[in-house]
């Protein structure tokens, strides 16, 4: 792709061009205007760029009206991996929707997906967003749904769940914050192996594709967004049997849950609930108001735990896909 090319997309002075790192501030402002409850900064985009693996596809196109970005797409290798598909995010300023920008960007993204030799393009939108209907009208089909849900830790009463903590202790389970575990490569590889085993068991629409160890280190274990003192590992002796991760969130007064999971032989012992309680206590003690999590709709066991604790569901995020 010619990095200096401009593509006319209307009779007005509206054109597309590739974005560079110099456009991070403008692109972040566009994303924030589109989803003000989840603000994005140029620093967020820098960290995202540094977290990409060698060989991963990534292209970003801006649609400008004069000098002002009014829409964009972000096309690249899905974070979950995948050798046969790409993922696209379309973003349009609220006041610019319905003017044909979505069609122009999607057509360009589909062309690029084909040109790069991929057979499938994934996308997504909230179930209450008109963008979902747009995707479905243009040949996408629903793949699965993910539920965001939020717990107000200020009102949460952990005493109701004391029996789960007692049960896990009876079976010899202990918790340690990640900051209280060894930082050497040997332990990190044990942590990685346990994480891969647990992720492979998380119900999802697509088969799990693990990141290589070095990529996991960069994106997960050593990520600046990971709250290492709020991420807890469950142990049976020295065996890692479960985990719950907390991450920084762009939402005010909120922390985001990453992976919460337990290895199969240690399930139904109260371990997952104990981990969730530790995360909620951490959030409350440090003055956060909310813990937010995301779960696949087919992951009923974890959804049930969240519902029992009082997590309140948000509109679902709908993942869609199309063959190109």
Per-range mean pLDDT, top range of 77-81, 114-118, 206-210: 114-118
| pLDDT at position 80 | 75
Q: Identify whether residues 89 and 209 lie together within a single domain.
A: no
Q: Identify whether residues 302 and 176 lie together within a single domain.
A: yes
| pLDDT at position 6 | 42
Report yes or no: 277 and 291 within 8 Å, Cβ to Cβ: no
Q: Identify whether residues 158 and 96 lie together within a single domain.
A: no
Q: Identify whether residues 313 and 191 lie together within a single domain.
A: yes
| pLDDT at position 135 | 98
| Assigned domain for 266 exists | yes
Read off the pLDDT of residues 222-232 as tens digits, 9 standing for 90 and up. 999 999 999 99
- Residue 8's pLDDT band (cuts 50, 70, 90): very low
| pLDDT at position 105 | 97
**Would you say residue 83 has pLDDT above 80?**
no
| Assigned domain for 14 exists | yes
* 107 three-state secondary structure: helix
| pLDDT at position 37 | 85
Average pLDDT over residues 247-263: 96
Provide the CATH number for the domain around residue 177. Answer: 3.40.630.30
Strand 58-65 relative to strand 317-323, pairing? unpaired
| pLDDT at position 193 | 98
| Assigned domain for 94 exists | yes
| Assigned domain for 127 exists | no
**Would you say residue 82 has pLDDT above 90?**
no
Beta bridge partners of 321: 122, 141
Q: Identify whether residues 157 and 281 lie together within a single domain.
A: yes
Q: Identify whether residues 114 and 155 lie together within a single domain.
A: no
| pLDDT at position 206 | 84
| pLDDT at position 266 | 98
Q: Identify whether residues 103 and 248 lie together within a single domain.
A: no
Report yes or no: 244 and 231 within 8 Å, Cβ to Cβ: yes
Out of 11-15, 84-88, 102-106, 304-308, pick the least confident: 11-15
pLDDT mean across residues, the chain: 93
| pLDDT at position 12 | 62
Of the residues 118, 140, 175, the one at which a domain ends: 118
Domain count, the chain: 2
Q: Identify whether residues 49 and 104 lie together within a single domain.
A: yes
Question: Domain range spanning residue 16?
Answer: 7-118
Average pLDDT over residues 40-61: 91
- Cα distance between the two ends of the chain: 19
Cα separation, 271 vs 264, in Å, equals 11
Report yes or no: 44 and 249 within 8 Å, Cβ to Cβ: no
* pTM given for the model: 0.89
| Assigned domain for 289 exists | yes
Which tokens go with 40? 């994005």
**Would you say residue 4 has pLDDT above 70?**
no
């Amino acid at each position: 792709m010619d990095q200096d090319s401009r593509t006319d997309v209307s009779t007005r002075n509206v054109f597309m061009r590739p974005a560079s790192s110099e456009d991070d501030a403008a692109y972040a402002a566009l994303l924030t205007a589109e989803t003000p409850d989840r603000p994005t900064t140029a620093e967020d985009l820098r960290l995202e760029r540094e977290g990409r693996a060698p060989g991963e596809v990534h292209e970003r196109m801006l649609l400008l009206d004069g000098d002002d970005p009014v829409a964009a797409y972000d096309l690249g290798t899905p974070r979950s991996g995948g050798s046969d598909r790409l993922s696209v995010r379309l973003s349009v300023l609220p006041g610019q929707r319905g003017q044909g920008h979505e069609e122009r960007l999607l057509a360009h993204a589909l062309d690029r997906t084909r040109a790069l030799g991929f057979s499938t393009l994934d996308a997504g939108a909230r179930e209450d967003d008109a963008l979902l209907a747009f995707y479905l009208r243009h040949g996408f089909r629903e793949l699965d749904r993910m539920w965001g849900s939020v717990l107000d830790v200020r009102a949460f009463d952990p005493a109701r769940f004391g029996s789960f903590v007692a049960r896990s202790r009876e079976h010899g389970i202990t918790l340690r914050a990640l900051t209280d575990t060894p930082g050497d490569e040997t332990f990190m590889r044990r942590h990685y192996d346990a994480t891969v085993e647990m992720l492979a068991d998380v119900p999802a629409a697509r088969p799990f594709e693990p990141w290589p160890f070095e990529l996991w280190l960069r994106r997960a274990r050593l990520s600046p967004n990971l709250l290492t003192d709020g991420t807890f590992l469950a142990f049976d002796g020295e065996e890692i049997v479960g985990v719950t991760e907390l991450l920084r969130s762009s939402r005010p007064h909120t922390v985001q849950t990453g992976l919460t999971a337990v290895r199969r032989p240690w399930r139904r012992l109260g371990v997952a609930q104990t981990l969730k309680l530790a995360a909620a206590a951490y959030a409350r003690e440090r003055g956060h108001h909310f813990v937010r999590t995301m779960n696949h709709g087919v992951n009923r066991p974890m959804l049930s735990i969240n519902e029992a604790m009082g997590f309140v569901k948000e509109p679902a995020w709908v993942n869609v896909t199309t063959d190109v």
